[in-house]
Amino acid sequence: MFAWFLFPSVMKTDLELALECAINIYHQYAIRNPMDDYLSRNEFSMLLKENAKPFLSDTYIKQLFAKSDSNHDGRLKFTEFLTTLSLVAIDAHNRSHKQPGDHGHDHGDGHSHGHGHSQHH
């Protein structure tokens, strides 16, 4: 009975699957043009346009790219792509909490300033 050892990780959790999916998608686009292990601006915008919701405008994509490209070399390595994912996830999470008719006072940058009374120093 060695069969069990052949399938050590058949049962994947949703989170494992999601992470795997992120890695696969990254590679799928990184090897396009040019063929390397980085996402060029072009590959990045294709990835988002083909896999994300249409609410992602070019401006939004540009901002995401700029925020994620932390070493400013004009392309995203995998760790930088993870920044993109976390930004998109934070955004999606904020959207999920948006009340209808509430225009939302913070823009999801994580800079919550509380209620602004007390704590001046």
**Site residues (vs Ca ion, CB under 5 A):** 69, 71, 73, 80
Return the number of the residue (41 or 52) whose C-beta is nearest Ca ion: 41
Return the number of the residue (70 or 98) whose C-beta is nearest Ca ion: 70
Alpha-carbon gap, residue 105 to 114, rounded angstroms: 11
Alpha-carbon gap, residue 85 to 104, rounded angstroms: 22
Q: How far is the CB of 22 from Ca ion (least distance, A)?
A: 17
Q: How far is the CB of 72 from Ca ion (least distance, A)?
A: 7
DSSP 32-97: SSS-SSSEEHHHHHHHHHHHS-TT--HHHHHHHHHHH-TT-SSEE-HHHHHHHHHHHHHHHHHHHH
Return the number of the residue (20 or 73) whose C-beta is nearest Ca ion: 73
Q: How far is the CB of 37 from Ca ion (least distance, A)?
A: 12
